[in-house]
Amino acid sequence: MKKELIITAALSVLSIAVFAQTSDQVTVNINLYPIQTLEINAQQKVVNLDYISEQDYENGVEMDQPDHINTFSTGGFAIRVNTTNPALSQPDGESIPSSDITITPLIGGTNPLQGASFTTVDLSTEPRVIISNDSGGINNTFGINYKAKGNNAYLSKYSTATSSPTLYTTQIIYSMEAR
């Protein structure tokens, strides 16, 4: 009986040891990283501000580009705009200051982001914030209004040495960053 009691006690200890090893823990983490994407509407990659009439030279020319920018952001963001050159240039060597172009953000039509802050800026080589928001969103759209000077600022900029129209050009860069 003593022998049976010792064997039973040994088996009980062995069972407890075996059962003690049947569970363990795992830590699961969800790591969220900021993602910001910005795309320009493919049909609006070229914006022409055409001076065709006397009124255009007097009043300036502007053009709305609805749903020009499409964004995705996991959190707050800022959209900046800048140009690659301090002046719009043409082959003749003449130039127009880039700061003559005013960029005005507009609420989007397809999927507007409510509560976003808009700031109108004159174009510059320094990136300037035009849109900001404290939260993110999926496929939000923003329009842009491009405006160039009036007051007959460009009357003497037309060149007969080039083909008609006289083209002044620059590249504009939109960038998005987390806030």
C-alpha Rg value of the chain to the nearest Å: 32
pLDDT tens per residue, range 15-30: 555 555 689 999 999 9
Interval 128-145 mean pLDDT: 97
pLDDT tens per residue, range 36-65: 999 999 999 999 999 999 999 999 999 999
Token readout for 65 is 């580009």
**Residue 158 in domain:** yes
**Residue 4 in domain:** no
**Residue 64 in domain:** yes
**Residue 5 in domain:** no
This prediction's pTM: 0.84
**Residue 21 in domain:** no
Interval 9-19 mean pLDDT: 55
**Residue 3 in domain:** no
Q: Name residue 58's amino acid.
A: E
Work out how many domains the chain is built from and give that number.
1
Position of tokens 């363990």?
A: 24
**Residue 10 in domain:** no
pLDDT over 80 at 162, yes or no = no
> What CATH number corresponds to the domain at position 168?
2.60.40
Using H for helix, E for strand and C for coil, what is the string for the chain?
Answer: CHHHHHHHHHHHHHHHHHHHCCCCCCCCCCCCCCCEEEEECHHHCCCCCCCCCHHHHHHCEEEEEEEEEEEEECCCEEEEEEECCCEEECCCCCEEEHHHEEEEEEECCCCCCCCCEECCEECCCCCEEEEEECCCEEEEEEEEEEEECCCCCCHHHCCCCCCCCCCCECCEEEEEEEC
**Residue 18 in domain:** no
Domain that residue 41 falls in: 36-178
